[in-house]
């Protein structure tokens, strides 16, 4: 059976502070990037997306930054709350794919300290 769990990178943040979750990608043909949040017992939930012709996009309490030069993506969460505790996945889509196929990263677990 599965006795060894997947060791996700973990980020521990004080409640109220800002969180920054990072993601590196390697495919220079990726043209669309998405951040997902997965809470325990649920499927991944869309947070925010960004196209490759942009370098920043803001949502409600979240900001995604894209640096195509170094193939780096980050998710910033302002004023982190207990409800932000989850695993966060970055995902990318290859511009050459025939269908809307998205490849997911391994995820980062965000925990909130009271």
Where do contacts with other proteins occur on this chain (CB under 8 A)? 1-2, 4-6, 32, 34, 36, 41-46, 49, 89, 93, 97-107
**Contact between residue 76 and residue 108 where contact means Cβ atoms under 8 Å apart:** no
Closest CA to 70 of 19, 9, 28: 28
Of the two residues 18 and 27, which places its CB atom closer to other proteins in the complex? 27
- Whole-number minimum distance, CB 97 to other proteins, in Å? 7
Of the two residues 69 and 101, which places its CB atom closer to other proteins in the complex? 101
Residues 6+ apart with CB under 8 A from 36: 44, 45, 46, 47, 88, 89, 90, 91, 104
- Whole-number minimum distance, CB 29 to other proteins, in Å? 13
Q: How far apart are CA 84 and CA 71, in angstroms?
A: 25
- Whole-number minimum distance, CB 45 to other proteins, in Å? 7
Of the two residues 5 and 83, which places its CB atom closer to other proteins in the complex? 5
């Amino acid at each position: 059976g599965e006795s060894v769990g997947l060791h996700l990178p973990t980020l521990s943040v004080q409640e109220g502070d800002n969180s920054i979750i990072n993601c590196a990608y390697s495919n220079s043909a990726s043209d669309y990037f998405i951040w997902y949040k997965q809470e325990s017992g649920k499927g991944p939930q869309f947070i925010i997306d960004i196209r490759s012709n942009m370098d920043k996009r803001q949502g409600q309490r979240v900001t995604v930054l894209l640096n195509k030069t170094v193939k780096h993506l980050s998710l910033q969460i302002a004023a982190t709350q207990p409800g932000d505790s989850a695993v966060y996945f970055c995902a990318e889509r290859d511009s050459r794919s025939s269908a809307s196929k998205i490849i997911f990263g391994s995820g980062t677990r965000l925990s909130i300290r009271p």
